[in-house]
Structure 1
Amino acid sequence: MAQARNPFFSGVAFAIAAPLLYSATVPLSKIFSQQVEPWMLAGLLDLCAGIGVAVVYLLQRFVIYKAPHNALRGRDWRWLLLSILIGGLFAPVLQTYGIAYSSASVASLMLNLEGVFTALIAWWVFREPFDRRVAWGLGMITLGSMVLVWQGDAAFSLSWGAIAIAGASLAWATSSNLTQKIADRNPLQVVMYRVGVSGSLNTTLAFLAGNALPAPPLLGAIALTGLFCIALTFLCFMLALRQIGTSRAGTFFSLFPFTGAVLSIISLNEPVTSRLLIAGVLMAIGLGFCLKLKET
């Protein structure tokens, strides 16, 4: 019974919940991008998520009169601002552009690279303990991603949509490692600023670039997606970072691309190509290595 209350196991639960919640964003973003410009869509998803978390935070603060626990302070703001710049401004835009210019199933599997980049940055830059088994798994995931990126037969040709997804994965991974520095702070406060500020900036920049707001019914659907798929994902992922570390949380997040790919194929009736199957098998093997994690 004591083991069930161990933070490691609750951290694993949060790490699994995060990708399952986030998996719906890829097929939904593919649908939304048919009527909304990618930049505007990226901004609205984060903005609506930030507004939802802000409402909960303000209710807790001024209605329930509960002071925020472990509020941000001092150097925390530096890590938060860097996380917003890299993961809030660059990553969502690259991801929505990548989804718009590639199939949703390919985009989902390509997002496996986030776990690869997250672990590599955690090991090499932030000196988290190296795990050889996870390294083998990440190598298989990378090989699968190369299969998806490759577009030509004899000639060297790359998919720009897939390249945008790879860039988004690198930005998300960098942001995850920066967020680890403030993972013990109040999660509502961190997520509120993290997605709220980035969403506000991207929506404003999209307006300045000439993008228009979608019709109210579509805007409502985007708002619900931002609240349930973006905000809850960030909250779960922050709690996972706090309890099991960045490299472990990042590898568990590799569940998301597979569930996202399955949802995309089912909901959007996308074809199951041989390239998609080969990449999926390679990534599944890699994920199997990565998920053989033990408490240390």
Structure 2
Amino acid sequence: MNSSHDAAFTALLAAALFGATTPLAKTLLGSLSPFMVAGLFYLGSGVGLAVGILVRRLRRTTGDRQNESRIQVAEVPWLFGAIAAGGVAGPALLMLGLSSTPAATSSLLLNLEGVFTAVIAWVVFRENVDLQIFLGMVAIVLGGVVLSWQPGTAGVSPGALLVAAACGAWAIDNNLTRKVSANDAMVIACLKGLVAGSVNLCIALLLGAHLPGVAKMAAAMVTGFAGYGVSLVLFVVALRNLGTARTGAYFSVAPIFGVALSLVFWPEVPSLSFWIAAVLMALGIWLHIRERHEHPHTHEVLDHNHRHRHDEHHQHTHDFEWDGEEPHTHPHQHAPISHTHAHFPDIHHRHTH
């Protein structure tokens, strides 16, 4: 499997884990308030990843820890903006919108996240898009619409506008996260989980909700760790390698995984809309996977710190004793280079066209 397919698989696995969260939430937490569910899911994500980071750090040698990727001061505003938009504003807007919006309408509106993510990436951050990628995005979004459409339930109400605003907040989050995606994905996801979990849990308690029993709380947090935490780590890695719009498109197939898992829990003959949606999403994925974007381009001088191998983009010396192990992490500088090869809008290819 080549690197582009690896990145696509990473994004799809993130979507599968996130999509599976919905039926699991219905099974485990049907009696809890929406803010309590969101709080426990996010908190489980943050705490679980924090434990993972601690274990990883204890297993590393002193030299390894000195070369760990650290978020730079200039990147902190991007990270805080992503946490505020996706971890605080997004869930709050969604929960407020759900209180006065039919479930079918909400499901339909949630497809806007992929659209908003791509539009911001293409228009604001000038991420490359060609006709094939655009058509793939359209196919995936149409699949989501078909999957969630129920005739006679759609409508534009204040609640629906709040759900759409939540999608906008998550789209901003996705694009801002891309700006820090070269850093440790576990750290980024952990910070998001801890902040979002604490905020949503506080809102739930202020609204009069009570913490569930230990067993239900543990189940919620474990579910959140997998469906939000591990999923977000994979999402950040995909952002690093694919860019925002393409990663967002792959992640938009999450609902099909949720419906498929629901059919496992509650067996029934899949509806026609399920198969139409599956075909449209498969078509969109196929269009994205077969993309080949290649042209002469120039890399400017770039200083950053991320896990890498000494490939054609990483030809540098070390100012420390190196044992030859790859991949490894340390601050490094990219010298200017002009060449031609197939590429995505990853952390090394953010040039204009």
Please say whether Structure 1 and Structure 2 have the same fold, judged by a TM-score greater than 0.5. yes
**Alpha-carbon distance between aligned partners in 1 of 2:223 and 2:51, rounded to the nearest angstrom:** 16
Could you tell me which residue of structure 2 aligns to residue 8 of structure 1? 4
**Alpha-carbon distance between aligned partners in 2 of 1:23 and 1:251, rounded to the nearest angstrom:** 14
Could you tell me which residue of structure 1 aligns to residue 253 of structure 2? 255
Asked if residue 102 in structure 1 is aligned to residue 103 in structure 2, the reply is yes
Checking the alignment, whether the CA contact within 8 Å between 1:115 and 1:250 is kept in structure 2 is yes
Q: Quote how far apart the aligned CAs of 1:183 are.
A: 0.4
In structure 2, stretches of 5+ residues that fail to align are: 293-341, 344-353
Asked if residue 25 in structure 1 is aligned to residue 24 in structure 2, the reply is no
Total equivalences in the alignment: 288
**Alpha-carbon distance between aligned partners in 1 of 2:290 and 2:55, rounded to the nearest angstrom:** 40
Q: Quote how far apart the aligned CAs of 1:170 are.
A: 3.0
Q: Quote how far apart the aligned CAs of 1:94 are.
A: 5.0
Could you tell me which residue of structure 2 aligns to residue 41 of structure 1? 37
Asked if residue 59 in structure 1 is aligned to residue 55 in structure 2, the reply is yes
More off after superposition, 285-294 vs 239-248: 285-294
**Are the structure 2 counterparts of residues 158 and 32 from structure 1 closer, same or farther at C-alpha, using a change threshold of 3 Å?**
farther
Could you tell me which residue of structure 2 aligns to residue 87 of structure 1? 86
AA aligned to 1:53 is: L
Equivalent of residue 155 in structure 2, options 154, 157, 163: 157
Checking the alignment, whether the CA contact within 8 Å between 1:110 and 1:145 is kept in structure 2 is no
**Alpha-carbon distance between aligned partners in 1 of 2:4 and 2:142, rounded to the nearest angstrom:** 30
**Are the structure 2 counterparts of residues 69 and 270 from structure 1 closer, same or farther at C-alpha, using a change threshold of 3 Å?**
farther
Query: How do 1:196-207 residues align onto structure 2 when only pairs under 5 Å count?
Result: 196-207=194-205
Checking the alignment, whether the CA contact within 8 Å between 1:84 and 1:198 is kept in structure 2 is yes
Checking the alignment, whether the CA contact within 8 Å between 1:68 and 1:186 is kept in structure 2 is no
Checking the alignment, whether the CA contact within 8 Å between 2:133 and 2:288 is kept in structure 1 is yes
Q: Quote how far apart the aligned CAs of 1:120 are.
A: 1.6
**Are the structure 2 counterparts of residues 266 and 163 from structure 1 closer, same or farther at C-alpha, using a change threshold of 3 Å?**
farther
**Alpha-carbon distance between aligned partners in 2 of 1:293 and 1:173, rounded to the nearest angstrom:** 23
Query: How do 1:169-248 residues align onto structure 2 when only pairs under 5 Å count?
Result: 169-248=167-246
Superposition RMSD in Å: 3.3
More off after superposition, 58-67 vs 181-190: 58-67
Checking the alignment, whether the CA contact within 8 Å between 1:101 and 1:160 is kept in structure 2 is no
**Are the structure 2 counterparts of residues 275 and 61 from structure 1 closer, same or farther at C-alpha, using a change threshold of 3 Å?**
closer
More off after superposition, 228-237 vs 25-34: 25-34
Structure (1/2) with the larger strand percentage = 2
**Alpha-carbon distance between aligned partners in 1 of 2:164 and 2:149, rounded to the nearest angstrom:** 9
**Alpha-carbon distance between aligned partners in 2 of 1:35 and 1:48, rounded to the nearest angstrom:** 18
Instruction: Indicate the SS of the match to 2:180.
Output: coil
How does the TM-score come out when normalised to structure 2? 0.70
Q: Quote how far apart the aligned CAs of 1:30 are.
A: 2.8
**Are the structure 2 counterparts of residues 18 and 160 from structure 1 closer, same or farther at C-alpha, using a change threshold of 3 Å?**
farther
Checking the alignment, whether the CA contact within 8 Å between 2:114 and 2:141 is kept in structure 1 is no
Instruction: Indicate the SS of the match to 1:24.
Output: helix
AA aligned to 1:73 is: Q
**Alpha-carbon distance between aligned partners in 1 of 2:47 and 2:160, rounded to the nearest angstrom:** 30
State the Cα deviation string for residues 48-91 of structure 1 (Å, max 9, x = none): 11011111222333564534722112121111111111110133
**Alpha-carbon distance between aligned partners in 2 of 1:163 and 1:68, rounded to the nearest angstrom:** 46
Q: Quote how far apart the aligned CAs of 1:136 are.
A: 2.1
**Are the structure 2 counterparts of residues 20 and 103 from structure 1 closer, same or farther at C-alpha, using a change threshold of 3 Å?**
same
Checking the alignment, whether the CA contact within 8 Å between 1:47 and 1:195 is kept in structure 2 is yes
More off after superposition, 209-218 vs 35-44: 209-218
AA aligned to 2:25 is: S
Q: Quote how far apart the aligned CAs of 1:244 are.
A: 1.8
**Are the structure 2 counterparts of residues 194 and 162 from structure 1 closer, same or farther at C-alpha, using a change threshold of 3 Å?**
same
AA aligned to 2:152 is: G
Give percent identity, aligned residues only. Answer: 34
Checking the alignment, whether the CA contact within 8 Å between 1:89 and 1:198 is kept in structure 2 is yes
Find the structure with the greater CA-based Rg.
2
More off after superposition, 40-49 vs 70-79: 70-79
Could you tell me which residue of structure 2 aligns to residue 117 of structure 1? 116
State the Cα deviation string for residues 219-256 of structure 1 (Å, max 9, x = none): 11101101122111111111111112112211221332
Checking the alignment, whether the CA contact within 8 Å between 1:48 and 1:226 is kept in structure 2 is yes
Q: Quote how far apart the aligned CAs of 1:276 are.
A: 5.8
**Are the structure 2 counterparts of residues 257 and 122 from structure 1 closer, same or farther at C-alpha, using a change threshold of 3 Å?**
same
**Are the structure 2 counterparts of residues 259 and 161 from structure 1 closer, same or farther at C-alpha, using a change threshold of 3 Å?**
farther
Instruction: Indicate the SS of the match to 1:36.
Output: coil
Asked if residue 78 in structure 1 is aligned to residue 74 in structure 2, the reply is no
How does the TM-score come out when normalised to structure 1? 0.82
**Alpha-carbon distance between aligned partners in 2 of 1:165 and 1:289, rounded to the nearest angstrom:** 29
In structure 1, stretches of 5+ residues that fail to align are: none
